Amino acid sequence: MPSSEEESLWLVGSEAGGQHQQQHPYQNRSGQQQQQQQQQKQQAAAAAARVAGYQQPTSTAFRLSRGLQPFNHNHRSYTEEMQQQQQQQQSANSGNSAGATVDVADQQQQLEQQQQQNSVAAAGPANGAGGGGGGGGGGGDSAEQHDLIDNASDAALLAQFHEDAIKQAGVGYFQLIALLYVGLCLAADTVEFFVVPYILPSAEVELCIEDNEKGWLGNITLVGLAIGGICWGGLGDRLGRRRSLISAMAVHSLFSGVATFMPTYGTFMTTRFCSAVGVGGSLPLAFIYLAECCPRASRGKWIGMLIGAGALGGVYAALLAWAIVPTTGEMVVLENTEHFSAWHRFLLFCCLPAFCATVGLIFLPESPRYLVEAGRDVDAMMVYQKIYKKNNAQKNAAGAQYQLSELELPNKRPRGLPPPSPANHNTSVLADIMCSIEMFWSSFLELFATPYLKVTVVLLVIWSATAFGLYGLMVWCPEYLKLLRSIDYQAHTERFVGVEYNGKTFNGSLENRQYRDSRFQNCKFIKMVFSHVDFDNCTFQSVEFSSIKSSKTHFTNSTIVDSRFIDTDLSEQAFVDCHTENVTQLSLRGPCPTLDLDYNIYIEEALHGHLAALLAFVPAAALAGLALTVLQRPKMIGVSLFLSSIAALCLMLVSSNSGAVLGFESGFIAIFAIAWTALTLVTVECYPTHLRCTGFGLMAAAIRISGLIGTATYQSLVNAPLVAPSLLTASALFIASIATLKLPQTHTVFL
């Protein structure tokens, strides 16, 4: 089993891991000349700090010059090392006078002169090597390899420093608060996806959405989520996790609120797209922020709870729709006359998780791991202290202090976070934008270069296959329940053949009826609702239709003579091959005369399907997070996906039983949630700090695009035999389970 140091070095791309394994992780590998330079720098800086009243952390070279051992985290903590250092320094300086005055300017001048002498001395051998032809080239390669080793070692050191610091800060109240706020971000992401089927029946009436436009309302959301994942993920590695997450949720909150009041289909689609772009950044940023605020031992548990919190957003949307949105088409038509109808109010309440998350994130600090990587050591220490105080506020330790007051961070930073803008501060805004785009593109390309190419491709294959199956089944199950309900509805159709009505007044409603070869004379249809009513080869003589609301009502091959249609919504599409004579129409049709809304909208089937899946997902994800603290990630993912592929074959056994469909969906999602949770944690751990958000953002985009393909594919299979979606899901998940064999072991990785 590889050690934690080896695993960290592998993740940052070290090509000389074998040389590191035999050396101490905190040993300075520079030559004697570099140690002398570093010692002089530290002495001058320490003198300046003493004058200013600030004690700077000592470096490895300075510790070696004082006869101290380098830090060794494998045996003792930072606090013990710092205490030993202070004791040895006090004993060594006990006989010296404490009133000596240090001339800082003289020491700095001596340091500059020494550096100039060293650079001149180093220039001679370098020039001589350059004239030596092949020998000079070999020396350059050796120096380049040496720098690579130092950079990889420094990256591993930063990860180990952060792990020790966050471990000493503890786990408790701060992580709970962070879980609450970033969980609200993921809940808003889930609401954004599940809200579409609930508002579609009402929105199509008010916005005049045609059948060929309905699918785009959900597809544009997935496209926006994919774009948001890539864009905000890249910004998370440049601007910081918290700052990018606040910006993303602010954009989502703004446009989701504006979408509530949009009066037309085009403007509504535009604002929905912008809202999806904003909340799309929550998927990579929320997981990475919480993971970097937790120690390695409990990281899996918190990620599992965070995934469960995100799934609760879907439960919130379903229950809210059940309470607010009309569940029948008749209610939709009657309620549409209001100025601010129910689906607008539903969308407004769906904005609450995003608004609360945006406000709550303001009070959270930046990820300390990002601050350490960016070289903001003082800010990182303040965050560690804040976490420590939050977690120990209730432990009757008012006088306790965070003991890790000084960190010996590497003097050199690895190739990590570039500056946010060009070096020339007088450049234009366009130049800043182009520089940011170039940095984002370089980070994106780095994911497909050695040593990250293999893990990126493997993760893309697994995420794409799993998202294809999950999103597809999440759409297929409610649609199949609607199909079963529709088949049962048609089986109970009342048929009337050769019936004659003379002078009869009809009121109330006519639903699921078929009249054939019938005759209506001197009849009245007043204040009625026609739902799925067919008049085939019928005769209407002196008949009055007044205040009629219709749904899927058709007059076919019928004769209508001396009749009146007053205040009805029967459009020309309702009359097929009919003969009319002396017919009066005084109809007050709605704004969408060509729209024939189906009153059987079956929202309850969608609610049942979504609740069955989400309520099974939440506890399964939480339990999987607990299992991740003791089990290896790739094995959990592979076994879960393999069992899910077998469970998908059970779909062929559900037949036409709606209860069996809900039971299958719950069991399948419970097994599948284990793989989803473990795969999320592996994605966080597979990339170094400066590529972590970019890599996860790429995976988030792959999830959305695969989900888009999956939803379109499975919707076309609703009327197909059950073997088609069953085999398709099983095949996709089996391929993903095979790909998990190529995943690295990340349970020992420091973030």
Phi, psi (degrees; rounded to nearest 5) at 138 = -65, -40
Contacts of 132 (CB under 8 A, 6+ apart): none
Residue 543 exposed, middle or buried by CB count within 10 Å (0-12, 13-18, 19+):
buried
Q: How confident is the model at residue 5 (pLDDT cuts 50, 70, 90)?
A: very low
Q: With residue 563 as reference, give the H or E element that holds it.
A: none
Q: Is the Cβ–Cβ distance between 186 and 283 less than 8 Å?
A: yes
Top pLDDT among 46 and 512 is at 512
Interaxial angle between packed helices 352-361 and 241-259, expressed in degrees from 0 to 180 and rounded to the nearest 10: 150
Q: CA torsion sign, 146 to 152 to 157 to 160?
A: negative
pLDDT, position 147: 38
DSSP H helices, 195-240, are: 196-206, 211-239
How many CA within 13 A on the CB side of residue 32?
A: 0
pLDDT, position 92: 45
Q: With residue 554 as reference, give the H or E element that holds it.
A: strand 554-556
Tell me, what amino acid is at 347? L
419 forms beta bridges with none
689 C-beta neighbours (distance < 10 Å), count: 25
Q: What is the DSSP letter of 30?
A: S
Q: At residue 284, does pLDDT exceed 80? A: yes
Q: At residue 278, does pLDDT exceed 90? A: yes
Q: At residue 71, does pLDDT exceed 60? A: no
Question: What value does the mean pLDDT of the chain take?
Answer: 77
The mean per-residue pLDDT over the stretch 250-269 comes to 91
Top pLDDT among 32 and 656 is at 656
Q: How far apart are CA 677 and CA 623, in angstroms?
A: 10
462 forms beta bridges with none
Q: Is the Cβ–Cβ distance between 464 and 700 less than 8 Å?
A: no
Top pLDDT among 41 and 719 is at 719
Q: Is the Cβ–Cβ distance between 500 and 517 less than 8 Å?
A: no
Contacts of 437 (CB under 8 A, 6+ apart): none
The mean per-residue pLDDT over the stretch 404-413 comes to 52
E strands of 415-477, at which residues?
Answer: none
Using DSSP, state whether 235 is helix, strand or coil.
helix
Q: How confident is the model at residue 212 (pLDDT cuts 50, 70, 90)?
A: confident
Phi-psi label, residue 240: left if phi above 0, alpha if psi -120 to 50, beta otherwise? left
The mean per-residue pLDDT over the stretch 284-293 comes to 94
Rg over alpha carbons for the chain, rounded to the nearest Å, is 34
Q: At residue 632, does pLDDT exceed 60? A: yes
Q: Which of 358-367, 397-406, 450-459 has the lowest mean pLDDT?
A: 397-406
Best-predicted range by mean pLDDT among 327-336, 412-421, 738-747?
738-747
Q: At residue 714, does pLDDT exceed 90? A: yes
Q: How far apart are CA 149 and CA 5, in angstroms?
A: 13
Tell me which residue has tokens 């390899």.
145
pLDDT, position 285: 94
In 3D space, the residue among 184, 312, 307 whose CA is nearest the CA of residue 246 turns out to be 184
Pairing mode of beta strands 505-516, 500-502: unpaired
Q: Which of 6-10, 227-231, 529-533 has the lowest mean pLDDT?
A: 6-10
pLDDT, position 411: 52
The mean per-residue pLDDT over the stretch 622-634 comes to 89
Asked whether the bond before 451 is cis by omega within 30 degrees of 0, the reply is yes
How distant, in Å, are the alpha carbons of 228, 239, 244, 434 from that of 278? 6, 16, 10, 22
Q: At residue 407, does pLDDT exceed 50? A: no
Q: What is the pTM of this model?
A: 0.76
Q: At residue 575, does pLDDT exceed 80? A: yes
Using DSSP, state whether 566 is helix, strand or coil.
strand
Q: What would the two tokens of residue 573 be?
A: 């599409």
Q: Which of 77-91, 227-241, 326-340 has the lowest mean pLDDT?
A: 77-91
pLDDT, position 457: 94
Tell me the pLDDT tens digit for each residue of 427-482: 566 776 777 778 888 888 889 988 899 999 999 999 999 999 999 999 999 889 88
Report the percent of the chain where pLDDT is more than 90: 41
pLDDT, position 214: 82
Q: At residue 346, does pLDDT exceed 70? A: yes
The mean per-residue pLDDT over the stretch 625-651 comes to 92
Using DSSP, state whether 515 is helix, strand or coil.
strand
Using DSSP, state whether 536 is helix, strand or coil.
strand
Tell me the pLDDT tens digit for each residue of 488-512: 888 889 999 989 999 899 888 888 8
Tell me the pLDDT tens digit for each residue of 297-327: 899 999 999 999 999 999 999 999 998 888 7
Q: How confident is the model at residue 569 (pLDDT cuts 50, 70, 90)?
A: confident
Tell me the pLDDT tens digit for each residue of 117-170: 444 333 333 333 333 333 333 333 333 333 333 455 667 788 888 888 888 888
